[in-house]
Structure 1
């Protein structure tokens, strides 16, 4: 299955959008059904891991802390997702690798997959942030190619696509609110500090 779309953020410059979308905690908090996104090693155990709660994001978080935990090219991350699709609500243990990350052009590509007791998926996904044509805000282009099998796949794209669209729209609406909070509450130096740290 293929999914793609664009999302516009008014009054949010690309560099600010990139900083928030580079933070696994901000992404987790905006992605419905996601319990955590954390760096993983060979010893990682989904059943035993207990995520840290109440982690601060911008504008409240220390910029150096946000920079230290930002997604890194070549690094693997564990994500625990639970998303309802029709009558099915599987708990996906997901592994994601950041294949490419371009801080100059605000582009990122990731790949990975996950499985639950009766379903599995593999995917490649990408994101590109551009300045809006009006020069006021950002345009985010995103795409995902996913191979889904098992019980969820049996539901078909007519059931899956509306759920995926709602997750994406809710995600970007939440991200936009986080970015608005950063824009309104952070002092002017926070974005510049993070740009230098990333």
Structure 2
């Protein structure tokens, strides 16, 4: 299955959009059904990990803290997702690796896989932020190739597609809100500092 699209942010420049989309906490907060996204090592246990539910995001968060937890190229992350698809509400234990992260081109790609009782998936996804044509805003291009098997796959695209589209639409609406908050709450000096840290 392939999902892709573009999203316009009228007044948020690519530099600030990149900062928000580089923050695992901001992404988690915008992704319905996502309990956490955190670096994963050999000792990581999905059942043992306790996420910080109250972790601050920009503009309230300390820029040094946001920069320290930003996605890193080559790093592996654990994400716990629970999303209802039809009558099924699986709990996906997901591993994601950032395969490319280019702050000059505002490009990030990732591969991942996850499993739940009777279902599994693998994915190859990415996003690129472009300056909007003739404006101060951004155009975010995103794509995901997913291979789903098991109980969820049996539901078919007629059931899966609307759920996926709703998750993506809600994600970008919430990301836009966060980006607007960052745009209003941070000056250009802070943005430049964060860009340097990231």
**By the TM > 0.5 criterion, same fold?**
yes
Structure 1 runs (4+) deviating above 4 angstroms are none
Secondary structure of 1:126's counterpart equals strand
Is structure 2 residue 51 aligned with structure 1 residue 51?
Answer: yes
Deviation at 1:183, TM superposition (A): 1.3
Instruction: Tell me what 2:182 maps to.
Output: 182
Secondary structure of 2:194's counterpart equals helix
In structure 2, list runs of 5 or more residues that go unmatched: none
Q: Distance in 1 between matches of 2:191 and 2:163?
A: 33
Is structure 2 residue 116 aligned with structure 1 residue 116?
Answer: yes
Instruction: Tell me what 1:2 maps to.
Output: 2
Deviation at 1:190, TM superposition (A): 1.7
Computed over aligned residues only, the root mean square deviation of the Cα atoms, in angstroms, reads: 0.7
Instruction: Tell me what 1:82 maps to.
Output: 82
- Deviations 1:96-131 (Å, cap 9, x if unpaired)? 000011010000110011000111000000100000
* TM-score normalised to structure 1 length: 0.98
Instruction: Tell me what 2:26 maps to.
Output: 26
Instruction: Tell me what 1:95 maps to.
Output: 95
In structure 1, list runs of 5 or more residues that go unmatched: none
Instruction: Tell me what 1:173 maps to.
Output: 173
Instruction: Tell me what 1:148 maps to.
Output: 148
Instruction: Tell me what 2:162 maps to.
Output: 162
Deviation at 1:186, TM superposition (A): 2.1
Is structure 2 residue 40 aligned with structure 1 residue 65?
Answer: no
Point out the more displaced range, 180-189 or 54-63: 180-189
Kindly tell me the number of residue pairs found equivalent between the two proteins: 198
Deviation at 1:187, TM superposition (A): 3.1
Contact 2:99 2:109 in 1 (8 A): yes
